[in-house]
Amino acid sequence: MLIYIVRHGETNMNRDRILQGSFDTPLNADGINLAKITGKAIKGIHFDEAFSSPLSRSIDTIKILLEESGNTNTPINLDKRLQEVNVGDWTLCNLDDKSNPEYEHIHQFFKDPFSYLDVPNGENVYDVMKRTQDFIKELAKRDDDKTYLVGTHGFAMRSLLNMFYEDNKNFWHGHVPYNCCFNILEVKNKNISLIKEDVCYYDKDSIKDFYS
């Protein structure tokens, strides 16, 4: 059993360093194009079933990937457990706005989510880890010979994968997952292992890191 976990394509709020969280924002033109390029690059991989966060930037990324890779008949299931972290009162805050009285707290949470758990009216890292990891454990119980595509978000992806990291206190594992990058899990005899990390199926010159 193989599980391809992908982060959605670029949005304007990624580009402008605005906290989207669980706010629903669409892919921008670059995000659509990157998803198309990625989909063409993974042509030949057959996906038996797909899952997605219910947010449109994830759904549309999954739809494009399936269409461009020749998997137009693959069913897509929506699962709220794959949704991005709810950043509560910080939703739509600009990461560079030093006039925001919450600026220091936002950056503390962003740099090390384990160090700041009191997100006002939102979720903390343990909330997101629980729901995303519950999802992947449930899917892994199938332990079949199929290949699955799972669409999610940057924070949610790192939360889901945290259980596989040797240093699981290093939340970001070096960086926010790049748009349309994949992490691939293999399930054998009920054991789940991370076999490929942060794979981009497009030219390295196209990688954008908005959060470095």
Q: Which tens digit of pLDDT belongs to each residue from 84-119?
A: 999 999 999 999 999 999 999 999 999 999 999 999
What are the start-end ranges of the E strands in the chain? 2-7, 49-52, 76-78, 147-152, 181-188, 191-200
CA dihedral sign of residues 99, 101, 106, 108: positive
Q: Is the pLDDT of residue 191 over 90?
A: yes
Percent of the chain with pLDDT over 90: 98
Domain segments of the chain as ranges? 20-183
42-79 tens-digit pLDDT: 999 999 999 999 999 999 999 999 999 999 999 999 99
Which overall architecture, per CATH, does domain 20-183 show?
A: 3-Layer(aba) Sandwich (3.40)
Averaged over 121-128, what is the pLDDT? Answer: 98
Q: What is the pLDDT of residue 11?
A: 98
| SS3 assignment, position 123 | coil
CA dihedral sign of residues 126, 171, 142, 49: positive
Q: Is the pLDDT of residue 212 over 90?
A: no
Separation between Cα atoms, residue 90 and residue 78, nearest integer Å: 25
Closest CA to 81 of 52, 108, 107: 52
| SS3 assignment, position 169 | coil
Mean pLDDT of the chain: 97
Task: Name the pTM for this structure.
Answer: 0.97
Interacting residues of 188 by C-beta distance below 8 A, sequence separation 6+: 1, 143
Separation between Cα atoms, residue 118 and residue 154, nearest integer Å: 20
Separation between Cα atoms, residue 202 and residue 3, nearest integer Å: 19
Q: Rounded to an integer, what is the distance from CA 155 to the centroid of its chain? A: 6
Q: Is the pLDDT of residue 190 over 90?
A: no
Entry field: residues in the chain:
212
Assess contact for 202 and 37: CB atoms under 8 A. Answer: yes
Q: What are phi and psi of 78, to 5 degrees?
A: -95, 135
162-174 tens-digit pLDDT: 999 999 999 999 9
Separation between Cα atoms, residue 63 and residue 77, nearest integer Å: 11
Token pair of 62, please? 């999954």
